[in-house]
Structure 1
Amino acid sequence: MHTVPLKYLVLGGLMAILVFWNVRIFESLSWRLELCFGLFVGLFGTILPPLLFSKGFPSLGLGRGSILAAIEIPVSIGTAFPFLREQIPFTQVLGCLCIIAGIVFHNVRFRKTAI
């Protein structure tokens, strides 16, 4: 099982949060809210997705698994707009278009035509 890389992934996420949000995040922490929603979001947002992705990647194969990994960011940004009503800057739209163009460019097979 892939528990060691998952541990490093979660630890790296915690370190990034502490670097950007600083340690003041613990000052305004509501333990009641943490118990209500923190465990749910932590399980379904942080632990299960990489665990299930690494478990299912061999059955998907290298091509489909890479496409699935690359399309994750455009899908999450695309669903954040209608469901969460987040503002999407033009640079994020441009980045998503670059990711999708890269996936399409990588998977389109160019045929040489005989003249």
Structure 2
Amino acid sequence: MTQKSMSSETITAKETLYESTQNYSALISLYRDVLKAKEDPSIRYKLAKTYYQRGDSKSSLLYLTPLLNDNTKLATQAKILQIKNLIQLNNFQEAISVANELLLKSPNEGEVYN
């Protein structure tokens, strides 16, 4: 079965299995294959989040970049993940700067305060 013919149900089933077993390598492969077939911002975010969970903040930031400039809820989530990545990389000044920008745009976003 090629990735293009893989149904969303199949993708969801694999995603659930890989998440429950914390198989980040398999999740990354799954998300990358889906993105090769078709660009999908939510899959891109999930890929970036999985890289972060695996401790690979540089790859996470690479995949996050296209999501950061939108004015959507997903962009807000992407900014929060960007901040977490910057902290994981010990880049605290940039993390504070991004957090302050985000708070100006979304002052009610509680996760930013953490």
Give the structure-1-normalised TM-score. Answer: 0.34
| Greater relative contact order (Cα < 8 A, sep 6+) | 1
Give the structure-2-normalised TM-score. Answer: 0.34
Q: Which has the larger radius of gyration?
A: 1
